Amino acid sequence: MNGQQTVFTSLYDPYVFQALNTLIGKPITVQTTKNPVQGMLKSVAPDHFVVEINQTPFFIRTQEVVWVSPA
């Protein structure tokens, strides 16, 4: 790739995406438009992220997030 680094960007909520990246591996609480989700933030992608509760992954669309708390 000509020595260039590929950078993923989020088309919406880019700063949420950026902020979530700093919380990977930490316990978080997410208030979604439906229910709250509390667990370990496993990974973050431009349009979704993965929270694991008791070894069960939940794939959450960033657009459905109201707030996130590192707790």
The footprint of other proteins (CB under 8 A) covers 29, 31, 35-38, 53-54, 56, 58, 69, 71
Closer residue to other proteins (CB): 22 or 69: 69
Shortest approach of other proteins to residue 54 CB, angstroms? 5
**Is residue 48 within 8 Å of residue 36, measured between CB atoms?**
no
Closer residue to other proteins (CB): 14 or 36: 36
Strand partners, 27: 40
**CA proximity to 61, closest of 38, 30, 21:** 30
Task: Please give the span between the terminal C-alpha atoms of the chain, in angstroms, as a whole number.
Answer: 39
Closer residue to other proteins (CB): 27 or 46: 27
